[in-house]
Structure 1
Amino acid sequence: MRVLLHYDYEHTARPSGGLDVVSCPEEDDERFAKLLPEAEVLWHVLRPVTAADLDRAPNLRLIQKLGTGVNTIGLDAAEERGIAVANMPGTNAQAVAEAALLLMLAALRRVVTFDARTRAGRGWPADRALVGGELSGRTVGLLGGGQIAGLLRGMLEAIGATVLYTSRRPRPEDPSWRPLDDLLRASDVVSVHIPLTAETHHLLDRERLALLPPGAIVVNTARGAVIDESALVEALSSGRLGGAGLDVFEREPVPASNPLAALDNVVVMPHVAWLTRETWDRYFDVAEENCRRLAAGEELLHRVR
C-alpha cells in the first residue's frame, strides 16, 4: 500500500505491514503534486488538503490526520470522492499540555525579553518592570474539557494554581466548571483547548478579551482563529493584557509581518506544541493500524467521514 507522509520526517515501515511510505515536506508543492497520483493513503499534518489536491489523487482511499483537528481537510470534497477521513484524538495530548504549561511560564517570566537581553550582553541587572510572576496562587481558566485540558489541569494543580474550565456541555455539578464569560472574568491565565468551528471562530473577540482581569495572560495551542488576532494585538500593545503564549495563528505559516511577533510580551512557536518524538511514535502506531484495517476491509479507528 502506497502511503504519502506529508511532512519532512522519516518513517521506517514494519516489514510485516506491507506499507510503502514516501515522505514529502509540506512546503514542497511540486513534489506533493507528483506523488499524489499513486498515493492510496495520505498521512496529513497541517498543510491544507483541498479539492484540487484530491483531483490529483485518483487512487486515494484514506486521509489519515496525524493529530486531531480536521479543519485543514476538505471534508466535503473527500466525501464526494469516496475518500475516508480519520483522525487520532489524544495521541498528542501529553505534548500539547506540556507545551501550554511551557508557554504560560515563559509569558509570566518574560522569557522573550530576558533571552534577548542576555544574548545582547545586558541581562543583569534586570529592571523592576521585568519582575515576573508565578503560576502558584493564580487562577487558570481552560477553554475545553477534553484530554489535553485534563492533563494540563493536573500539572497546574500540582504547581499550586487554581484551575477552572468551561466546555460546550454545561457541568454545573462540577464546582470548577464556569460559563465562558464567568471563567474569563475569574482567570489570571486563560488557555485555549477547543477545535476551530463556525461557532468558535473569534470566540475570544474584543469584548471577551476585555472581560479578562488587567495583566492576564492568554495562551493558545489549539487553533489560531479561535482568537481575534487584531483584538489581541490591541490588548497586548496597550498593556491591558500582560502577555501571550501562542503556538497557533490565524494565518500559517506565520509571516514575519505579523504584529504579534514584534511584541516582547508574546512568546511564539510555529504550531509545534505537538512535535515530540513520543508523539510521532503514537501517530505511527495509529496510522499503521488504520492502514491495516483499510486493507482488511475493517472499520477504521476514529473515522470522521
Structure 2
Amino acid sequence: MRVLAHFVPGEKVLKFLEPQMDWLDIRYCAEDDDETFHRELPDAEVIWHVLRPISGDDLSQAPRLRLVHKLGAGVNTIDVDAATARGVAVANMPGANAASVAEGAVLLMLAALRRLPELDRITREGRGWPSDPTLGETVRDIGSCTVGLVGYGNIAQRVETIVTAMGADVVHTSTRDDGLPGWRNLTELLSVSDIVSLHLPLTTDTAGLLGRDALASMKSSAVLVNTSRGPIVDEDALVDALRSGGLAAAGLDVFAVEPVPADSPLLELDNVVLTPHVTWYTADTMRRYLEFAVDNCERLRDGRDLANLVNQVAG
C-alpha cells in the first residue's frame, strides 16, 4: 500500500514503522516541498496529512487515493467535500494529541502569566538583578486565577484537570448549556476569567469568534491562550488590545497566517509568548498518531470499516 506521509520522519518514527515495511510503501515529503508532493500524488493510496492544506486540485491529481488521514483532529485544512465527491475517505484522530496540547496550553499560560520570555531575556543580558518591582504587581499564580475554557472537548477537559490540581477555579463554555458545573455563556466567561484558553475547531461559526468587542469585554489583567486555530481570534484586534493594555498578555501557538509573516506585529510585543503550532508535537503524540494511522491502513487493506471517518463515501 503506497502511503504519502506529508512530514519528515525522525529516527523514532522510522523505527516504529519498520515492522510494517513488508506491506506499507511509505514516501515522505516535507510540508513545504510541493514539487515532491505533487510528484508522489499520482501513486498515493493514502495520505498522512498534517497541516499543509489539501485542496480539490491536489485531490484531482491523485487517481488512486482512497484515504486522507489527518494526523490530529481538525480537518479544516482538507477539502472534505472534494474528497467525498471523488470517493476518498477522510479520517481524523480525535483525542490522540489531547495530552500534549493540554500540557502545551498550560505551558503557555504559565509563560505568559509569569512573563517568562522577558525574564529570560533580561537574565541573559545581566539585567535580572535587582528584581523588577512590577513583578509583585503583575505576575500571578495559576492557582489564584479563574481559568475560562472556550470549548470543552478532550483537550479542554485535560487542561481543567491540570489547572484544578494547581488550585484554579475553572469555568467553561460550549455550544449549549451542558448542565455541568462551571458552564457559562461566552460573554460571562470572558468577563470573569483571568486566563481564557481556546479549544475550538475552526468553522464558519467560530471564525472571528473573539473579535474586538469580545476582547474588550475581558479583564485588562487577563491572559489569552490559543492552541486551537488562529482565525478564531481577530489578530489585529488582539494586537491592539495587547499594545494598549486592554489585555495583559497572550500565549499563542496558532496564527491567522502560518507560518507567521516576518512583519507580524505580534513578533514585536514583549507580552506575547509564541510557539510555531507545535503544542501537539511530541514523541508521545507521534506514537499515538502512527498507531492510529497504521490501524486504518490495515483496515483499508483488509476491507474493514475505517475508524474515525468524518465523511461518508460509497463503499
Return the alpha-carbon distance in structure 1 between the equivalents of residues 121 and 262 of structure 2: 17
> Aligned to 1:140, what secondary structure does the other structure show?
strand
Paired position in structure 1 for 2:257: 251
Deviation (angstroms), 1:16:
7.2
Which structure 1 residue ranges, 4+ long, deviate > 4 Å from structure 2? Answer: none
Paired position in structure 1 for 2:145: 138
TM-score (norm 2): 0.94
Q: How does 1:239-278 map to 2 (within 5 A)?
A: 239-278=245-284
Return the alpha-carbon distance in structure 1 between the equivalents of residues 33 and 126 of structure 2: 39
Structure 1 residues 127 and 286, CA gap change in structure 2 (3 angstroms): same
Match of 2:241 among 230, 235, 238: 235
Indicate whether 1:115 and 2:120 are aligned.
yes
Return the alpha-carbon distance in structure 1 between the equivalents of residues 50 and 156 of structure 2: 21
Equivalent pair of 1:42/1:64 in contact (CA under 8 Å): yes
Return the alpha-carbon distance in structure 2 between the equivalents of residues 118 and 44 of structure 1: 40
Report the RMSD for the aligned CA atoms in angstroms.
1.2
Match of 2:35 among 7, 26, 30: 30
Return the alpha-carbon distance in structure 2 between the equivalents of residues 17 and 250 of structure 1: 41
Q: How does 1:174-193 map to 2 (within 5 A)?
A: 174-193=180-199
> Aligned to 2:162, what secondary structure does the other structure show?
helix
Equivalent pair of 1:17/1:292 in contact (CA under 8 Å): no
Indicate whether 1:48 and 2:53 are aligned.
yes
Paired position in structure 2 for 1:6: 6
Return the alpha-carbon distance in structure 2 between the equivalents of residues 59 and 174 of structure 1: 46
Letter in 1 for 2:95: G
Indicate whether 1:90 and 2:95 are aligned.
yes
Indicate whether 1:163 and 2:179 are aligned.
no
Name structure 2 gaps, 5 residues minimum. none
> Aligned to 2:256, what secondary structure does the other structure show?
coil
Return the alpha-carbon distance in structure 1 between the equivalents of residues 195 and 22 of structure 2: 45
Return the alpha-carbon distance in structure 2 between the equivalents of residues 176 and 189 of structure 1: 15
Deviation (angstroms), 1:122:
1.9
Letter in 1 for 2:61: R
Quote the sequence identity (%).
Answer: 53
Deviation (angstroms), 1:120:
2.1
Equivalent pair of 1:17/1:288 in contact (CA under 8 Å): no
Cα deviation code 1:282-302 (max 9, x no counterpart): 000000000011111211110
Match of 1:79 among 84, 105, 111: 84
Equivalent pair of 1:38/1:59 in contact (CA under 8 Å): yes
Return the alpha-carbon distance in structure 2 between the equivalents of residues 71 and 283 of structure 1: 18
